[in-house]
Amino acid sequence: MTSKKGPSKGYLITKRAVDATLAAVALIVLFPLLLILALISAIDTKATPLFIQTRIGKDGKEFKCFKYRTMSTKAPANVATCDLEATRYITPVGSFLRKTSLDELPQLWNILIGDMSIVGPRPIIPEEVELIYLRKLHGAEAVRPGLTGWAQINGRDNLKAPKKSLMDGYYARHASWKMDIGILFKTVKYVLSSEDVVEGHTDTNRPTSAQFILNTRAYI
């Protein structure tokens, strides 16, 4: 059984204050860039620039997550990218935004209002039942989801649900300022190199998360 050890209360309180402060400052400083990206996204996709999607947050609670639209409006709205033939729907500009993670900048608002943190497991959609189940087993739901996290610098899109959930759970139990700062520095390297960015799949017969059959022994 996964240990329930976690970060101290003092760390969590301070982290929330730092998250809110940095998000507020970033929203103010980056406001011109945010407007420009919104305009570019709107022109590129011929739709509203913000893509608002239900995601799973701390303690399994749902919240509305914001990002720039990077796919055509024909793309399925409630399918995880790993379960989608994403290259069929991603626009040319959208591909650049995704590789540079600029599409995630609207999530600064999610951080400001307390839905997310700067560092934490990436928020996932309710349809990713396999990853949700495994994250719960490993205690990853105990912390807020983040813009970047331990799994994102250790394989990112190349990680399968069992490995990703283990890493998310590890972060939830061992989170600290030292770990967070290390993750942020490594994230810069990952973003600049677009390392481990995989956009969906091309196998039309590949089973999706929604087809997952719970089998606890396979992952414990």
Cα–Cα dist 149/141, whole Å:
13
Residue range 22-74, pLDDT digits in tens: 999 999 999 999 999 999 999 999 999 999 999 999 999 999 999 999 988 88
Cα–Cα dist 164/83, whole Å:
15
For residue 144, give Cα distances in angstroms to 62, 108, 119, 148: 11, 13, 8, 11
Q: Which residues contact 181 (CB under 8 A, 6 or more apart)?
A: none
| Single-letter code of the amino acid located at 50 | L
Residue range 119-164, pLDDT digits in tens: 999 999 999 999 999 999 999 999 999 999 999 998 877 888 999 9
> Is the pLDDT higher at 187 or at 2?
187
Residue 53 contacts residue 125 (beta carbons within 8 Å) = yes
Residue with tokens 């799949």: 201
Q: What is the pLDDT of residue 145?
A: 97
Domain chopping of the chain, boundaries: 9-196+205-218
pLDDT bracket for residue 1 (50, 70, 90): very low
The alpha carbon of residue 208 and the mean position of all alpha carbons in its chain are separated, in whole angstroms, by: 18
Q: What's the chain's average pLDDT?
A: 86
Q: Which residues contact 21 (CB under 8 A, 6 or more apart)?
A: none
pLDDT value at 100 more than 60: yes
In angstroms and rounded to an integer, the radius of gyration of the C-alpha atoms of the chain is 17
Q: Which residues contact 94 (CB under 8 A, 6 or more apart)?
A: 41, 44, 45, 68, 69, 70, 71, 103
Beta-ladder partners of 208? none
